[in-house]
Each structure stands twice: as structure tokens, then as C-alpha cells.
């Protein structure tokens, strides 16, 4: 009963804080961005009446404290690809909803003692975590883990932890086990990059954990003892026959660290000319085909040179 009452109190404080913070962080659509979108839409043949709903949607999101930059970029991306404004609209609504959820949970975390850090990056990462399947309840579990540690936790780390839980769930790791592992990492002062590295490694070995060849409980104990993420799987990478596997992991890790900005899986808010959003890449300008090189028979034969003087002493005929 006491815990429930405390939780309600914290949430009420969050509401009060959000009301003040929203006004302080309001970021309505700038005239420069508005003109840029209008100009781009006009070149694509769209009337102001078609563009105004998009402009209003982005501006209203900014007034609620949601960063407008990613929304503006997404609108421009869609228009540049020739997508109709009415098909861009649901994509922007979806992005706005995720960013708003991210903002709310990060403000709640701030009330509970999580330091702010890089607000923009934390909000974008948290929105991606929600996109990939993380929930607010899982984030609240991570907040509780952070309160039990000796290290200060920033919103960047919390957001990375939420994304890590979502990544592990993609590898069929349960929410409970994933949250416990990431929470232990947060307690031990893992950086955001370390939490993401850990989650990717666990996801790759999802079948090993499911079939009992590796143990999440043992892995969590290693983290609890203070082992860092780059040492947890080192022996396996150096083991016999592990060279190829280690090299493969290294390549995959480099791809991941591009934040898989990746694969279509990480970027669901992509546009499809047939409607809505999908993962197709924008049309590219076809490169001209390379001219076929002339065959040897068409080249100047280097062998056809003036005959050399006959070394036998006989002159030319």
C-alpha cells in the first residue's frame, strides 16, 4: 500500500513538472523550417492546403516540448521522395507519439533522481526503444535498478538500457531476464555504449541461452562482479575456431554501431511511394553503365612495331 501511494505521488509530481517543463522547452516550428518545407512541397507540385496540416502538426508537437528537428527532417525526406503529404501525415503522427512517450518517461526518471544528460539524444534513443518493443513498465524497472546503484545514471544511459532490453527481446530473451541483466549493468555504472554492446551480444546468442548452452544468470553474476561488457565474451572470441566467429561479430558490431541507421528494422518510419511508410530506399540516380573496354584485338597491338635490325648481320630486304 505504501509503495502504491508513493508511486501515485511520484506520477503526480511528474504531471506538475511536465506542465512547467513543456512550456520551458516549447519549440514551435521556426519560420525558416516552415518556408523550407513549403518551398520543397511547392517544387513537388503540392498546394499550401496540402502542406498546412503537416506544418501544423509539427508546430503543435514543438509547442508540447517535443523536438521538431527529427519531424522536420522526416517531412522533408518524404517530400523529396515525391510522397504525397497525406501519406506523410501518419508517419509524423507515429513519430510524434513515440517522442512524446519518451519525453514523459524521461521526465518521470528525472523526478526519481536520473540526471538529465543529453536530452535530445536520450529522447531519440528512448523513442527508438519504444519502436522496437520496449515498454514504460520496463523503463520504470530500470529506473528502480538505477536507484539501487552507487553510480549516477543519466537519461542517456537509461534510454540506452531501454533500447538494450528491446534488442534482447528481439533475440527471444524474456522481458524479465533482459531487464534484470541491463539493470545490473546500470547498477555497476555501465556506459550507454556498453549496455548496447551487451544487449547485442546476448541477442546474437539468443538460441544458446534458450537451449541452456549459456546462462543469463551466470552472465548477470559476472556483471555484478564488475566485469565490463568488452570482457564478458572475450574468451569465446579467442577460443579455438572462434576466429571466424569473432571476425563476424566484429563486422556485425561495426554495422550496429552505425546504430543500424541502419537497417530497415531500426528505421520503421520510412516512406513507400505506394502509401504509408516502409523500408525502401529512396530512388537513386542510376549510374551510367561503364563503357566496355575494347577487346585485345581492337587495341593497338604492341607487338606490331617496326622490325628490329637483324642481328645476324643481314640487312632488311
What does the pLDDT look like over 198-220, one tens digit per residue?
Answer: 999 999 999 999 898 999 999 99
Domain boundary among 237, 254, 283: 237
Q: pLDDT at residue 106 above 80?
A: yes
Percent of the chain with pLDDT over 90: 57
| One domain for residues 185 and 161 | yes
- Is there a single domain that holds both residue 84 and residue 104? yes
Q: What are the tens digits of pLDDT across the range 225-255?
A: 999 988 888 765 554 444 444 444 444 444 4
The pLDDT, as a whole number, for residue 50 is 95
Same domain, 102 and 214: no
Is a pLDDT exceeding 50 seen at residue 63? yes
Q: Are residues 73 and 160 in the same domain?
A: no
Whether the per-residue pLDDT at 296 is higher than 60: the answer is no
**Distance between CA 228 and CA 185 in Å, rounded?**
9
Single pTM value for the model: 0.68
Mean pLDDT, residues 152-170? 97
Query: Is pLDDT at 221 greater than 90 in this prediction?
Result: yes
pLDDT of residue 92: 96
**Residue predicted with more confidence, 31 or 271:** 31
State mean pLDDT over 141-168: 95
Q: Residue 182 has what pLDDT?
A: 97
Domain assignment of residue 285, yes or no: no
pLDDT of 137 over the 80 cut: yes
129 plus 180 within the same structural domain: yes
- Residue 89 shares a structural domain with residue 124: no
Question: What's residue 141's pLDDT?
Answer: 96
pLDDT at residue number 230: 84
The residue out of 60, 93, 111 marking a domain boundary is 111
pLDDT at position 237 = 54
Range of the domain at 55: 12-111
pLDDT of residue 272: 58
Quick one: 225 and 120 in the same domain? yes
Residue 159 pLDDT greater than 70, yes or no: yes
d(CA 165, CA 180): 9
Domain boundary residue, one of 202, 237, 272: 237
Pair (139, 225) in one structural domain: yes
Q: Which of 153-162, 168-177, 263-272 has the lowest mean pLDDT?
A: 263-272
Q: How confident is the model at residue 300 (pLDDT cuts 50, 70, 90)?
A: very low
Per-residue pLDDT at 269: 63
Looking at the fold, whether 98 and 151 belong to one and the same domain comes out as no
142, 38: one domain: no
Domains of the chain: total: 2
Amino acid at each position: 500500500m505504501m509503495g502504491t501511494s508513493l508511486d501515485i505521488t511520484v506520477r503526480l509530481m511528474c504531471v506538475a513538472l511536465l506542465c512547467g517543463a513543456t512550456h520551458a522547452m516549447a519549440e514551435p516550428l521556426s519560420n525558416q523550417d516552415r518556408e523550407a518545407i513549403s518551398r520543397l512541397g511547392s517544387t513537388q507540385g503540392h498546394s499550401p492546403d496540402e502542406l498546412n496540416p503537416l506544418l501544423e502538426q509539427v508546430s503543435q508537437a514543438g509547442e508540447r516540448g517535443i523536438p521538431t528537428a527529427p519531424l522536420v527532417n522526416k517531412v522533408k525526406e518524404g517530400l523529396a521522395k515525391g510522397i504525397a503529404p497525406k501519406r506523410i501525415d501518419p508517419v509524423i503522427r507515429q513519430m510524434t507519439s513515440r517522442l512524446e512517450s519518451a519525453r514523459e518517461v524521461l521526465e518521470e526518471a528525472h523526478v526519481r533522481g536520473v540526471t538529465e544528460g543529453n536530452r535530445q539524444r536520450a529522447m531519440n534513443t528512448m523513442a527508438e526503444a519504444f519502436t522496437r518493443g520496449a515498454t514504460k513498465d520496463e523503463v520504470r524497472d530500470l529506473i528502480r535498478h538505477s536507484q539501487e546503484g552507487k553510480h549516477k545514471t543519466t537519461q542517456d544511459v537509461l534510454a540506452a538500457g531501454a533500447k538494450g532490453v528491446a534488442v534482447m527481446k528481439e533475440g527471444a530473451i524474456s522481458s524479465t531476464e533482459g531487464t534484470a541483466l541491463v539493470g545490473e549493468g546500470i547498477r555497476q555504472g555501465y556506459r550507454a555504449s556498453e549496455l548496447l554492446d551487451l544487449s547485442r551480444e546476448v541477442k546474437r546468442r539468443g538460441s544458446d541461452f534458450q537451449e541452456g548452452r549459456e546462462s543469463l544468470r551466470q552472465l548477470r553474476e559476472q556483471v555484478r562482479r564488475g566485469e565490463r561488457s568488452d570482457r564478458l565474451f572475450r574468451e569465446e572470441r579467442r577460443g579455438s575456431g572462434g576466429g571466424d566467429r569473432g571476425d563476424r561479430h566484429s563486422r556485425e558490431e561495426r554495422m550496429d554501431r552505425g546504430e543500424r541507421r541502419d537497417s530497415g528494422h531500426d528505421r520503421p518510419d520510412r516512406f513507400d511511394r505506394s502509401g504509408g511508410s516502409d523500408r525502401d530506399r529512396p530512388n537513386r540516380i542510376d549510374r551510367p553503365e561503364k563503357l566496355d573496354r575494347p577487346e585485345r584485338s581492337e587495341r593497338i597491338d604492341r607487338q606490331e612495331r617496326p622490325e628490329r635490325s637483324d642481328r645476324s648481320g643481314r640487312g632488311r630486304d
